[in-house]
Amino acid sequence: MKYSIGIDLGGTDIKAGLLAANGKLSCRTVVSTRVSEGAKAIAARIAQTIHQVIETADAESHPREEEKKEIVGIGLGAPGLIIADSGIIHFSPNFPGWSDIPLLDYVTAELDDLNLPLYIDNDVNVMVLGELHHGAGVGYENVVGLTLGTGVGGGVVINRKVYHGSWNTAGELGHTVVQPNGRKCGCGNHGCLEAYAGARHIVERAQQQIASGRKTCLNPERLTPKQIAEAATAGDELAFDIFSETGRYIGIALTSIAHILNPQIAIIGGGIAAAGENLLFQHIRGEFTARTMDIPGGMEIVPAKLGNNAGLVGAAMLVYNN
């Protein structure tokens, strides 16, 4: 069976794992990123995790197996604007000060004689690719993905390949405008989906409602989206309204996305998506259905399946995407 190595480069940890062609993940390893030490030190630690995965895979290969686990390549997912073709991180919010860092060259230099192809892509593109091959998107060709976390990430897969656009900036679905003159977004624009469905913005919207005098069990101090979701489930009306409204904004964004791209399915993951069917997904679908033109075949809107593994699985699948 063929295997590929996936690496999930984050601001806190570098995770790595071995993915079998059947989607089974093994040989997981985690090291701290230590951003302050700079790109070359991080590249060295990435190389170290790759060697660790290979050693573990070799040790786990059954002695009576005809051949060792055949590793065909390495894929790496990282946050930010990634120039996939040249292996460069143009900019990343998680790595302050990085500008056009040739990360793949740095990693390759640390891999000595290990002769495996190495690929990189944006972490949300990678998540969508993982879901396409081994998660909620199995059996589909045209897929969009949203990750609802601190920000709202997006990724587009067309004909089973990540779509990068002309300058590698395609798929910024979180910056679809859902409210002209709306809330200020981190990108500088007003009314982006992220300015409603990003974690901080969900909390701020709840705090504004509380400040306006609406009755609620929520405490505006140190409020989190999880607390709002729990209160909503327990019957708090304000908390429920915050989530249903979040769902409607996502539905508005997906309406534009469906009209532009006509994907078969939208896969929604990330911490906020854990709010689930009653608080979020039924409102997304309701708004989407009310607004979209009659699309033969429609567009499914489903939660992501791979959870925390999506980054590793998707990164490992970059080997086959290229």
CB nearer to Zn ion: give 192 or 301.
Answer: 192
The reply to whether 12 sits near Zn ion by the rule CB under 5 A is no
Nearest one of 81, 105, 104, 108 to 94, comparing CA atoms: 81
CB of 191 to Zn ion, least distance (A): 8
CB nearer to Zn ion: give 187 or 260.
Answer: 187
CB of 307 to Zn ion, least distance (A): 26
CA distances from 80 to 106, 129, 171 (A): 18, 17, 12
CB nearer to Zn ion: give 2 or 190.
Answer: 190
CB of 179 to Zn ion, least distance (A): 11
Answer for the pair 7, 319: CB distance below 8 angstroms, yes or no. no
Query: Could you say which residues in the range 187-246 bind Zn ion, by CB under 5 A?
Result: 187, 189, 192
**Binding-residue total with Zn ion (CB under 5 A):** 5
Sheet holding 25-32, edge to edge: 25-32, 13-20, 2-9, 70-78, 118-122
Q: Residue 227 is encoded by which pair of tokens? A: 């607390």
For 183-208, give the secondary structure using H, E and C: CECCCCCECECHHHHCHHHHHHHHHH
Nearest one of 308, 270, 322 to 17, comparing CA atoms: 308
CB nearer to Zn ion: give 91 or 320.
Answer: 91
> Are β-strands 88-91 and 152-158 bridged in parallel, bridged antiparallel, or unpaired?
unpaired
CB nearer to Zn ion: give 173 or 238.
Answer: 173
Sheet holding 152-158, edge to edge: 161-162, 152-158, 143-148, 265-269, 300-303
Query: Could you say which residues in the range 154-193 bind Zn ion, by CB under 5 A?
Result: 175, 185, 187, 189, 192
State which amino acid sits at residue 21.
Answer: A
CB nearer to Zn ion: give 8 or 172.
Answer: 172
CB nearer to Zn ion: give 169 or 189.
Answer: 189
CB nearer to Zn ion: give 189 or 262.
Answer: 189
CB of 172 to Zn ion, least distance (A): 8
- What's the count of helices (H) and strands (E) in the chain, helices before strands? 10, 12
CB of 174 to Zn ion, least distance (A): 7
CB of 189 to Zn ion, least distance (A): 5
- Can you tell me the distance from the alpha carbon of 70 to that of 41, in angstroms, rounded to the nearest whole number? 28
Answer for the pair 275, 96: CB distance below 8 angstroms, yes or no. no
Q: Residue 191 is encoded by which pair of tokens? A: 């009314």
Answer for the pair 15, 31: CB distance below 8 angstroms, yes or no. no
CB of 200 to Zn ion, least distance (A): 13
CB of 204 to Zn ion, least distance (A): 15
Residues that bind Zn ion (CB under 5 A): 175, 185, 187, 189, 192
